[in-house]
Amino acid sequence: MEQVKGVVKHIVLAKFKEGVAEEEIEKHIKEYANLCNLIEHMKSFEWGTDVSIENLHQGFTHIFETTFETLEDRSAYVAHAAHVKFGTAFSSVLEKIIAIDYVPKPEK
């Protein structure tokens, strides 16, 4: 694995189980966003829903992006009790999840 230096972006794509109520999804999103208040390592959090006209989402409807200053901060977030508790509850309403971390590369 390459040496990671710089800001780390954590992207989560969520595919909710069929039949999960919109209110339930909204509750989990609010809890996800609130992690910024509980975990100092989270520098920013944004989310949205798929609006692509290509219809290639494969059922993944929600996108979440968290920014960390370092890979170590990302690791501390994963291990943080608030994240572990949230992750357990969140995964109970998900059919599938994709999580990817990357370091943005400047244009050359």
Which residues are catalytically annotated? Answer: 77, 80
- 52 vs 23: CA distance, rounded Å: 23
User: Hey, which bits of the chain come out as E strands?
Assistant: 8-16, 44-49, 62-68, 94-102
Please report, as a single letter, which amino acid is at residue 20.
Answer: V
Residues forming beta bridges with residue 68, ordered by sequence position: 8
